Amino acid sequence: MPIKLATWNINSVRLRMPLVEHFATRFQPDVICLQETKCRDGEFPSADFRRLGYEHVAINGQKGYHGVCIASRLPFAAIDKREFCEKGDARHIAVTFAAGAAGRDPITVHNFYVPAGGDEPDPVANPKFAHKLAFLDEMTDLLSGDHAQGHSIVVGDLNVAPLDTDVWNHKSMLKIVSHTPIETEKLTGVMRAGAWVDTMRLFVPAQDHLFTWWSYRSPDWEKANKGRRLDHVWASEKLAGSIRGIEVVKEARGWERPSDHVPVLVDIDH
C-alpha cells in the first residue's frame, strides 16, 4: 500500500497555514507531521486540516512555543505522547496505524522536536544545551526498546546535523550548536541503539551535501547555500525496505513568509 508522509518544522502553524494548504494541495501527502506549531491544542486549526481531507489529527501543543502534530487521511489506532526531561514541553507525538490502514502491518510514527540548544555548546554554562543533551539521552532510552522492533518511523526536527556533509562547511561548524561532536555522537547513538536506518541517506549518498534548513539571517539564502540537515527520517529495520523515495522540497524556503525549514517527503510502499 503506497503512503506519502511529510515532515516539516512549520514555525507557527497558524501563521503559515496558507503554506501548509499550498503544500498539501500540490504534493498530496497522506500524513503530515509538523513541528513548532506554537499553539495550544484548542487553538490548533483542525478545521482547516479537515477541510483539506485530514480527518484525523493528533496534537501535543503549548502556548507560543514548541508543539507537534500529526494530521492524517488514515485513521489512528492509538495516540501517544511523551514528556522529556520533566520540562512539560510539547516535543513528541506518536500515532499507530492499524494493520490494513497503512499497509499489511501496523505502523507507528514518532514525531519529534528536539531542543535547539541555544548558542553556547557548553552544558555547564548553557542550560539549554544541557537540556538538549539530556533530551537525546532520553530519546535513546525510548527508541532502543520495542519501538525499534516493529514497523516504525521516526521523523522531525532533530536539530542535529550529524554528518560532515549535513552542513555547508564541516570545519567551520564544529563549534556551532547542531554540529558539535557531542551532539552528533549522541544523535548517532540514538540511531544505533535501535538500529534505526537513516532513510534520507539511502537515496542521497553520504558524500553529497544534503540540507533541510537555511537561516533567516542570510539575505540570499539560496546563493549562499549555508544550509544544514536538521530534519530527519529514520525507519526501523523491518520498515526500511518499504521506503521507496525521499524528496526535500527546497523550493518551499523561497515561498512567501516561509519557515526556515523545508518539508521532507517520504514514499512508503508497505
Q: What is the reported pLDDT for 98?
A: 76
Q: What is the reported pLDDT for 47?
A: 97
Contacts with 192 (C-beta within 8 Å, 6 or more apart), sequence order: none
Q: What is the reported pLDDT for 149?
A: 78
Nearest to 231 by CA among 166, 182, 141: 166
Instruction: Output phi, psi for 111, to 5 deg.
Output: -115, 120
Q: What is the reported pLDDT for 260?
A: 98
| Spans of all domains in the chain | 2-269
Residues of the chain falling short of pLDDT 70: 102-103
DSSP state of 167: B
Q: What is the reported pLDDT for 72?
A: 97
DSSP state of 241: T
Contacts with 232 (C-beta within 8 Å, 6 or more apart), sequence order: 154, 155, 156, 158, 198, 200
Angle of CA points 174, 175, 180, to nearest 5°: 60
Answer whether CATH 3.40.250.10 is correct for domain 2-269: no
Q: What is the reported pLDDT for 147?
A: 72
For residue range 179-227, list pLDDT tens digits in order.
999 999 999 999 999 999 999 999 999 999 999 999 998 889 999 999 9
* CA atoms within 13 A of residue 88's CA, in its CB half-sphere: 3
Angle of CA points 66, 77, 263, to nearest 5°: 40
